[in-house]
Amino acid sequence: MKSLLTIVIVEWFALLGFAWFNRDVWARILVLRQQLSVYKRKIKRPELRTWDRLFWSLLSRVWKDWTSELILVKPEAVIRWRKRKFRECWRKKFQGKPGRPAIPREHIAFIKRISSDHPEYGEDRIALELQVKFGICHARSTIRRYMVKRRPGPRDSQTWSRFLKNQAQSIWACDFFIQHTVGFRVLYVFIIMELANRKVLHCNITENPTLEWTKQQIRNACFEVQPKFLLHDNDGKFGQFSRPVQLENDGHRVSCRSAYDAWLWHGMGIRGIAIPYGAPNAAAHIERLIGTLRRECLDRVLIWNDRNLRCVLAEFIRWYNHGRVHQGLKGIPDPDPELTQPKPKDGKLVAIPVLNGLHHDYRLAA
């Protein structure tokens, strides 16, 4: 026991003596560690060079406890540098470009000739042509890489935007949106607009939007004139079918996705068009109208009941149709007759309040 205690005391004094004779080294280490801890608190990280990355990559190979002294970057970064150098080393040994080796020039000429003579051929057909007739086997992606690139020509069918532009005079759009009252009642607003001039044709309010109620709104809106197409979304209020149904009327066959479309086609001769699922931009005009109603009117007033909402919407829609300028139209949907008259030279600016001054209808009075 005494011998063990003696050994411990001797080792302790030897350690103290070693630390005392090397006190300059220990002091330098302590000072460097304190400065590194201060440097670590800096926001901007220092930029490392290639030799710095090489030093830590080699050190991580030979020193087991290298992560304990790493401050500037995370250990994962050093491992990533090491793997990247490993890949670069093997790439240089191959002395070539990475990826698949190039196919013979003769095969490339075959692919370009066939794709040039027949633009309608895809990579599958060209690959099969080469395999059966020439005994050449290449992957589909390789064939696609060397095919002659052509600009897409005109489509056989018109695009959706082109269809809306061509048929704007005969297209109406309709949609529902909800409005909460002060008493937390939920009111449903049904609105119909004409696509060509953005004019609001019909607006009504209900608490229970049934299919029969929606049909009656179309009857009321089509009292004088009716459209050729009616654009709407896939709301459940229109009585969606589980799958499209083919219907025929006067020798014309159409596909209907809801009971509302079937009633429009059979009862009124109007073709209902439901926009694709998850594509609200297909009915961008009516969505923009609803957004305008919210931003410029409904989000700025308190709605007490359905009667109050009806009065507010009627006054705003009257100004929207006859006095509000539209940037998309660069004009007014249905301007008042006095706006089409010649403007007085020495006229005076008159501001007609709309919704008690929420908006103003500016006119030039003589």
pLDDT grade for 5, boundaries at 50, 70 and 90: low
- Percent of the residues in the chain that have a pLDDT greater than 70, as a whole number: 81
Tens-digit pLDDT profile for residues 83-102: 787 777 767 666 655 566 77
Please identify, among 65, 94, 123, the residue that sits at the C-terminal boundary of a domain: 94
pLDDT grade for 307, boundaries at 50, 70 and 90: very high
116 lies in the same domain as 89: no
Q: Which two tokens stand for residue 94?
A: 């191959």
Residue that is written with structure tokens 């692919």 in the block: 111
327 lies in the same domain as 187: yes
Those residues whose C-beta lies under 8 Å from the C-beta of residue 61, and which sit 6 or more positions away, are 82
290 lies in the same domain as 312: yes
Residue 76 included in any domain: yes
DSSP state at residue 326: B
Let me know: does 206 contact 188? Beta carbons within 8 Å: yes
37 lies in the same domain as 76: no
**Lowest-confidence region among 10-24, 113-127, 146-160, 290-304:** 10-24
Return the higher-pLDDT residue of 59 and 144.
Answer: 144
CA-only gyration radius of the chain, Å: 39
pLDDT grade for 182, boundaries at 50, 70 and 90: very high
Q: What is the total count of domains within the chain?
A: 4
CATH number for position 283: 3.30.420.10
For the whole model, what pTM was predicted? 0.58
Those residues whose C-beta lies under 8 Å from the C-beta of residue 210, and which sit 6 or more positions away, are 237
Mean pLDDT throughout 207-228? 90
pLDDT for position 350:
85
Please identify, among 113, 146, 179, the residue that sits at the C-terminal boundary of a domain: 146
Is the predicted pLDDT of residue 318 greater than 70, yes or no?
yes
Return the higher-pLDDT residue of 47 and 94.
Answer: 47
59 lies in the same domain as 183: no
132 lies in the same domain as 225: no
172 lies in the same domain as 186: yes
129 lies in the same domain as 256: no
For residue 230, count CB atoms less than 10 angstroms from its CB and return exposed for 0-12, middle for 13-18, buried for 19 or more: buried
Residue 280 included in any domain: yes
Query: Domain of 50?
Result: 45-94
CA pseudo-torsion sign 15, 20, 21, 27: positive
Highest mean pLDDT among 55-69, 77-91, 98-112: 98-112
Mean pLDDT throughout 133-157? 78
Residue 365 included in any domain: no
pLDDT for position 8:
54
Is the predicted pLDDT of residue 328 greater than 70, yes or no?
yes
pLDDT grade for 179, boundaries at 50, 70 and 90: very high
Reduce the DSSP state of residue 267 to 3 states and report it. helix
H runs (alpha helix) in the chain: 2-21, 23-40, 50-62, 75-94, 105-117, 123-134, 140-146, 160-166, 211-221, 259-263, 284-296, 306-322
Residue 321 included in any domain: yes
pLDDT for position 106:
87
> How does the average pLDDT of the chain come out, rounded?
81
Mean pLDDT throughout 143-147? 87
Is the predicted pLDDT of residue 13 greater than 60, yes or no?
no
Is the predicted pLDDT of residue 256 greater than 90, yes or no?
no
pLDDT grade for 224, boundaries at 50, 70 and 90: confident
Those residues whose C-beta lies under 8 Å from the C-beta of residue 290, and which sit 6 or more positions away, are 175, 177, 191
Residue 264 included in any domain: yes
DSSP string, 43-88: SSPPPP-HHHHHHHHHHHHH-TTGGGG--SS-HHHHHHHHHHHHHH
**Lowest-confidence region among 79-88, 150-159, 225-234, 278-287:** 150-159
81 lies in the same domain as 178: no
253 lies in the same domain as 293: yes
Highest mean pLDDT among 36-40, 61-65, 148-152, 336-340: 336-340
Residue 359 included in any domain: no
Residue 349 included in any domain: no
264 lies in the same domain as 311: yes
172 lies in the same domain as 123: no
Residue 136 included in any domain: yes
For the chain, helix (H) and strand (E) counts, in that order, are: 12, 9
